[in-house]
């Protein structure tokens, strides 16, 4: 779904302007920037602060507070792997161990093979767990084989970006 593009100030300004009149505009703006660029570039902070008439430190504070906001360009691709209760009950922890053993992934341990697997706490698809999110798409009813395939796909996409 989301293909990230390199930093582009005009594009950033357009994304910010489109949302600056929204109620509580800061979060939608930050999400839009991250969606487009894969992270929130520090050069966007001053533009956001100016558009919303808030301080830069307020913008930085919000970026730091929410773990989902990245401050650096992604080094590869990210899979969000759900380890919340319902997915745990459907075997998420065994799957996590399998992924680490079979693919060399290290969950919440940065990038391996160009892929970062990060823990998520509920992806809103509990009945069809275990679940993972990749490229904006939920992958449900995961089993060892489908999770390995998803990981391999993410690694291929990461490689294609280099």
Residues of this chain that bind ligand FES (CB under 6 A): 82, 84-87, 122-126, 129, 131
Nearer residue to ligand FES within complex by CB, 38 or 129:
129
Write down the least CB distance from residue 45 to ligand FES, Å.
Answer: 32
| CA-closest candidate to residue 79, choices 6, 7, 5, 142 | 142
Nearer residue to ligand FES within complex by CB, 141 or 156:
141
Contact 32, 19 (CB under 8 A): yes
Write down the least CB distance from residue 129 to ligand FES, Å.
Answer: 5
Distance CA(62)–CA(71), nearest Å, equals 12
Write down the least CB distance from residue 9 to ligand FES, Å.
Answer: 37
Nearer residue to ligand FES within complex by CB, 39 or 81:
81
Distance CA(111)–CA(64), nearest Å, equals 20
Q: What tokens were used for 61?
A: 């504070």
């Amino acid at each position: 779904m989301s293909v990230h593009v390199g930093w582009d100030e005009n594009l950033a300004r357009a994304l910010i302007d489109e949302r600056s009149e929204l109620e509580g505009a800061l979060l939608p703006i930050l999400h839009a920037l991250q969606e487009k660029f894969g992270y929130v570039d520090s050069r966007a902070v001053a533009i956001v602060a100016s558009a919303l008439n808030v301080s830069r430190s307020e913008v930085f504070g919000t970026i730091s507070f929410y773990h989902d906001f990245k401050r650096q360009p992604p080094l590869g691709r990210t899979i969000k792997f759900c380890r919340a209760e319902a997915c745990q009950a459907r075997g998420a922890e065994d799957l996590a161990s399998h992924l680490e053993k079979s693919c060399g992934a290290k969950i919440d341990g940065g990038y391996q093979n160009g892929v970062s697997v990060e823990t998520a706490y509920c992806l809103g698809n509990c009945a069809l767990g275990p679940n993972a999110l990749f490229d904006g798409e939920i992958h449900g009813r995961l089993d060892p084989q489908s999770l390995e395939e998803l990981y391999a796909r993410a690694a291929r996409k990461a490689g294609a970006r280099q």
